[in-house]
Amino acid sequence: MKRRTSWISLTAVGLILSVALYGCATLSGLMNLGKLQFKLANVNGFRLNGVDVSRIASRGQIGPMDVLAIGSAVAQKRLPVDFTLNVDVKNPNSGANGAQATPLYLNKIAWTLLIDDRTTINGVTNQNLQIPGNGQTMTLPITMSLDLYKFFSDRGLDDLLNLALAIGGNQGSSSRLKMTARITATVPGTNIPITYPGDITIINQGFSNP
């Protein structure tokens, strides 16, 4: 509670300074920062130990040599995975119902990836992505690299292959993924980045916002 109170106090000071420096329009924009919305989109370019599985729909379509290479990696207690996770970002400040249309900039997202609710890797993506105030959805691609065996060593080869196909195969989706994230954004013209207090959980079923 003390940490949240401190953040609110600092935010209040920042808002007062913003009004003094930039006017009421900026205050409105800063208050709208909390409305940025996030959703996991699709997964692209999924490679399992160097094998591209993005065009493979089922376990039986993986060639025997590829299965041998993947099995060899598992026998060595490793299974490198690379893919791009696309995150949709939407700014609902479109000027509807007489409100001001306010574009926002997503500056930074400090994220942690969960697969089947298991915490895996984390990272920070710095990208000055403008989210226009017209309700349009923008996409933020985040490159992921991890050792799948490190987090799922309790599963056999078939289970690991099925997991990879469920996420990055031809008929895969991001439904088995979650992302917790700390968001930093800016209102154009202010150069004042604001980091949301606390993490949000981003999934592929509906938009989440702080």
User: What's the pLDDT band for 118 if we cut at 50, 70, 90?
Assistant: very high
User: What's the pLDDT band for 114 if we cut at 50, 70, 90?
Assistant: very high
> Average of pLDDT values for 80-89?
97
At residue 5, does pLDDT exceed 70? no
CA distances from 155 to 34, 74, 81, 161, 192 (A): 40, 10, 16, 10, 47
More confident residue, 149 or 93: 149
At residue 132, does pLDDT exceed 90? no
Report d(CA 210, CA 204) in Å as an integer: 16
Q: What are phi and psi of 186, to 5 degrees?
A: -140, 145
| Average pLDDT over all residues of the chain | 83
